[in-house]
C-alpha cells in the first residue's frame, strides 16, 4: 500500500476516534446524564472537539493530501475509495483550517450549556432564561461564518457545513417557488374540513406496547439491533459511533399514537443509512451520510413514502389492531390511512403532516437569515415567530414552549440546518421514483411487509458510498438529474387530491 496514503489514514482514524468519542458523550448527555453533569460535560466536549480539530488541520495532513492529490485519480480512478478519500479530505481540510480550534472548542462548550438551558426553558416555558444562551450561540456562529469570507452570503458557509455545495440563493429560490403552491394546497385542504377524521389516534396508548410495535417495524425494515439500540429523549435523533454502533432515540406520547410510531420509522431510516455504509470506509470520516439533506431523504423515505403508504398498512394495520384492539378495533384500514395523513396546520414541526411540514421549515429558514443579518433582535424573536405562523399556517402558539422553544437546533448551534429537512423531502421523492422504476414488484413487496428489495437497492445505490461523492454527484449518479422540487410537489398534489377528494 502507498505509504503516504497509509499515514494519512492513520491520522484520520485518530481524528475520527476523538470525534466519535465526543458524539458518545453528547448522546449520553441527552439520554442518561443527570443535569448536574452539564458543566463538566461542556468542558469535556470542548476538549475533545478542540483536540480533534487541532489534529485534523495540521500541516502534516495538509501536506499528505496535497502530495496524494497530484497523482490520485490517474493512479486509482475517480470512483475508488482512495481517490474519493483524497478529494473528501482536501475539501474538509481546506474548510476546517479556516476556523481556529479555540473557536471550535468555545462553540462546543457554549452549546453544551445552551442545550441544558434550552431543555429547562422549554419545560418551564421560559424563553427569557434561554435568550442569553442563544445570543452567545448566534454570536459564535456568526464569528464561525465570518472565517470563510469572502462569500456572497454570510449564511453560505453555515449551510455548506450541512449540505456541501448548496448556496443560500439556491435555497431562497427553491423555497420561494414552493411556498405559494404549498399555502394554496393547505387552503384547499382546509376548505374540506371534516373529510378526514383522526380522533381515534388520540387516547391512552400503552407505551411498552408502542415501543414493542415500533421495534418490530424497525427490525422488519432491516435495522440491526446487534449494531444499534433505542433510548428515550426529549428530542428524537439518530447518532453513530461506528458503522457497527448506530443508535436511535424516541419520544413516546401515550396520548397520541403517531408521535413515536412515525418518529421511530424516521430515525430508523437514518440508522439504516449509517449501518449500510461500506466497512471499507470505516474510520476515514467518509463513513457517514454525505449530507444532512441526503440523510433526511432516507428518514423521510422510510417514514413517509413507505410508512404512510396504503401498501405498508395492508400488512401492518391488522397487527396494530391486535396490539391496540380497544382503540383501533372498529377502525378500517382506509380510515387509518387517511387519519395518519391528515393535513392540518399545527404548531409543532415534528408532528406536522407532509404538506404543512415544509412551511415550518421555511419559517425557520427565514428567521435564521434575519437573526444572522442582525435585522431581527432576539427580544423580538418570539413575536416574529408568531407572526410568521399566522401568515403561513394560520395558527399561532399561545406560549414559547410550543413556539420558538420547540426545537433543540439553535441551542446546539445547528444554524443553517433546517433547510436540509426540506431538501430531504424533495430528494426522498426523486430517489423513490428511481426505486419504483427499478423494482417492479416494490408495492407488492411492501404490502407483504417485505423490505429486502428496497433496502438492497438503497444500500447499493446510496448507503454503501458514505461520503465518497458530493451530494450533487450522488443525486446525479442515482437520478441522472439535479435536485428538483417538482416531483415532490406533484407527489403531494396527487396524494392529497386523492385523500381529500380535491
Q: How far is the CB of 350 from Zn ion (least distance, A)?
A: 9
Beta carbon of residue 262, minimum distance to Zn ion (angstroms, whole number): 11
Q: Which of 283, 292, 54, 37 is nearest to 164 (CA)?
A: 292
Q: In whole angstroms, how large is the CA radius of gyration of the chain? A: 23
Minimum CB distance to Zn ion smaller for 160 or for 296: 296
44 or 358: whose CB is closer to Zn ion?
358
For residue 240, the cross-strand partners are 246
CA distance readout (Å), 435 to 180, 384, 415, 432: 29, 41, 32, 5
Q: Which of 363, 361, 372, 366 is closest to 151 using CA atoms? A: 372
> Among 384, 387, 404, 405, which residue's Cα sits nearest to residue 395?
387
Q: Within 291-330, which residues bind Zn ion (CB under 5 A)?
A: 296, 299
Q: Active-site residue among 163, 267, 354, 368? A: 267
335: annotated active-site residue: no
Phi then psi for 228, rounded to 5 degrees?
Answer: -165, 170
DSSP bridge pairs for 247: 229, 239
Cβ–Cβ under 8 Å, residues 382 and 403: yes
Q: How far is the CB of 466 from Zn ion (least distance, A)?
A: 18
Residue among 154 and 268 whose Cβ is closer to Zn ion: 268
The residue behind cell 426523486 is 430
Q: Does 420 bind Zn ion (CB under 5 A)?
A: no
Residue 238: its H or E element: strand 238-242
- C-beta nearest to Zn ion: residue: 299
Total site size for Zn ion, rule CB under 5 A: 2
Closer Cβ to Zn ion, 160 or 407, answer by number: 407
From 131-139, 167-175, 288-296, 463-471, give the range in contact with Zn ion by CB under 5 A: 288-296
From 44-52, 290-298, 350-358, 451-459, span contacting Zn ion (CB under 5 A): 290-298
Strand order in the sheet with 245-250: 228-232, 245-250, 238-242
Closest distance of CB 269 from Zn ion, Å:
8
Q: How far is the CB of 236 from Zn ion (least distance, A)?
A: 8
Q: Which is nearer to Zn ion, 265 or 499 (CB)?
A: 265
Decide: 428 and 300 in contact? Cβ < 8 Å.
Answer: yes
C-alpha cell at 346: 399545527
CB of 430 vs Zn ion, minimal distance in Å: 17
CB of 23 to Zn ion, least distance (A): 16
Nearer to Zn ion, 156 or 296 (CB): 296
299 vs 467, which CB is nearer to Zn ion?
299
Q: How far is the CB of 32 from Zn ion (least distance, A)?
A: 22
Region of 203 please: left (phi>0), alpha (psi -120 to 50) or beta.
Answer: left
Q: How far is the CB of 238 from Zn ion (least distance, A)?
A: 7
Which residues, 6 or more positions from 191, have their beta carbon under 8 angstroms from its beta carbon?
none
Per-residue binding letters, 237-276, with Zn ion (x by CB under 5 A): ----------------------------------------
The residue (of 296 and 368) whose beta carbon lies closer to Zn ion is 296
Contact call for residues 451 and 221 (beta carbons, < 8 A): yes
Query: Which of 222, 216, 213, 218 minimizes the C-alpha distance to 452?
Result: 222
C-alpha torsion sign, points 87, 90, 91, 96: positive
Residue recorded with cell 475539501:
91
Rounded-to-integer distance, Cα 442 and Cα 433, Å? 11
DSSP designation for 382: H
> CA-to-CA distance for 137 and 131, rounded, in angstroms?
10
DSSP 3-state of 188 = helix
Instruction: State which residue, 299 or 406, has the beta carbon closest to Zn ion.
Output: 299
Q: What is the DSSP string of 67-101?
A: HHHHHHHHHH-TTSHHHHHHHHHHHHHHHHTTS-H
Longest dimension (CA), the chain: 69
Catalytic (active-site) positions: 267
Q: Give contact residues for Zn ion (rule: CB under 5 A).
A: 296, 299
Amino acid at each position: 500500500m502507498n505509504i503516504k496514503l497509509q499515514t494519512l489514514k492513520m491520522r484520520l482514524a485518530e481524528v475520527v476516534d476523538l470525534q466519535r468519542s465526543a458524539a458518545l458523550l453528547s448522546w449520553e448527555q441527552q439520554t442518561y446524564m443527570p443535569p448536574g453533569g452539564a458543566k463538566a460535560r461542556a468542558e469535556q466536549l470542548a476538549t475533545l472537539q478542540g483536540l480533534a480539530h487541532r489534529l485534523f488541520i495540521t500541516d502534516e495532513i495538509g501536506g499528505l493530501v496535497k502530495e496524494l492529490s497530484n497523482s490520485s485519480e490517474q493512479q486509482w480512478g475517480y470512483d475508488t475509495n482512495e481517490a474519493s478519500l483524497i478529494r473528501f479530505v482536501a475539501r474538509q481540510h481546506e474548510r476546517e483550517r479556516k476556523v481556529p480550534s479555540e473557536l471550535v472548542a468555545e462553540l462546543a462548550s457554549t452549546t453544551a450549556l445552551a442545550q441544558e438551558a434550552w431543555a429547562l426553558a422549554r419545560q418551564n416555558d421560559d424563553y427569557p432564561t434561554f435568550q442569553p444562551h442563544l445570543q452567545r450561540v448566534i454570536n459564535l456562529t456568526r464569528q464561525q461564518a465570518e472565517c470563510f469570507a469572502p462569500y456572497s452570503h454570510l449564511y453560505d458557509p453555515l449551510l455548506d457545513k450541512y449540505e456541501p455545495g448548496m448556496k443560500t440563493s439556491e435555497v431562497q429560490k427553491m423555497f420561494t417557488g414552493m411556498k405559494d403552491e404549498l399555502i394554496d394546497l393547505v387552503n384547499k385542504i382546509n376548505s374540506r374540513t371534516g373529510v378526514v377524521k383522526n380522533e381515534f389516534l388520540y387516547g391512552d396508548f400503552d407505551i411498552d406496547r408502542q415501543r414493542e410495535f415500533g421495534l418490530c417495524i424497525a427490525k422488519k425494515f432491516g435495522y440491526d439491533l446487534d449494531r444499534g439500540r433505542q433510548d428515550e429523549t426529549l428530542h428524537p435523533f439518530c447518532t453513530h459511533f461506528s458503522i457497527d454502533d448506530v443508535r436511535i432515540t424516541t419520544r413516546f406520547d401515550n396520548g397520541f399514537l403517531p408521535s413515536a410510531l412515525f418518529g421511530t420509522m424516521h430515525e430508523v431510516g437514518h440508522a439504516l443509512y449509517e449501518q449500510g455504509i461500506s466497512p471499507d470506509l470505516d474510520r476515514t470520516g467518509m463513513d457517514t451520510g454525505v449530507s444532512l439533506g441526503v440523510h433526511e431523504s432516507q428518514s423521510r423515505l422510510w417514514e413517509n413514502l413507505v410508512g404512510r403508504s396504503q401498501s405498508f398498512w395492508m400488512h401492518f394495520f391488522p397487527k396494530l389492531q391486535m396490539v391496540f384492539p380497544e382503540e383501533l378495533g372498529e377502525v378500517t384500514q382506509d380510515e387509518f390511512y387517511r387519519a395518519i395523513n391528515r393535513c392540518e396546520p399545527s404548531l409543532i414541526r415534528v408532528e406536522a403532516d407532509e404538506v404543512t411540514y415544509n412551511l415550518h421549515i421555511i419559517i425557520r429558514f427565514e428567521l435564521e437569515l434575519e437573526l444572522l443579518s442582525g435585522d431581527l433582535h432576539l427580544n423580538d424573536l418570539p413575536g416574529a415567530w408568531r407572526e410568521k405562523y399566522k401568515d403561513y399556517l394560520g395558527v399561532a402558539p399561545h406560549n414559547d414552549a410550543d413556539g420558538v422553544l420547540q426545537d433543540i437546533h439553535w441551542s446546539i448551534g445547528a444554524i443553517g440546518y433546517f433547510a436540509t429537512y426540506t431538501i430531504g423531502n424533495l430528494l426522498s421523492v426523486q430517489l423513490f421514483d428511481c426505486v419504483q422504476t427499478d423494482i417492479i414488484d416494490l408495492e407488492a413487496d411492501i404490502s407483504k411487509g417485505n423490505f429486502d428489495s428496497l433496502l438492497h437497492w438503497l444500500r447499493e445505490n446510496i448507503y454503501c458510498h458514505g461520503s465518497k461523492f458530493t451530494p450533487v454527484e450522488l443525486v446525479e449518479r442515482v437520478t441522472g438529474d439535479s435536485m428538483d422540487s417538482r416531483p415532490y410537489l406533484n407527489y403531494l398534489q396527487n396524494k392529497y387530491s386523492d385523500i381529500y377528494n380535491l
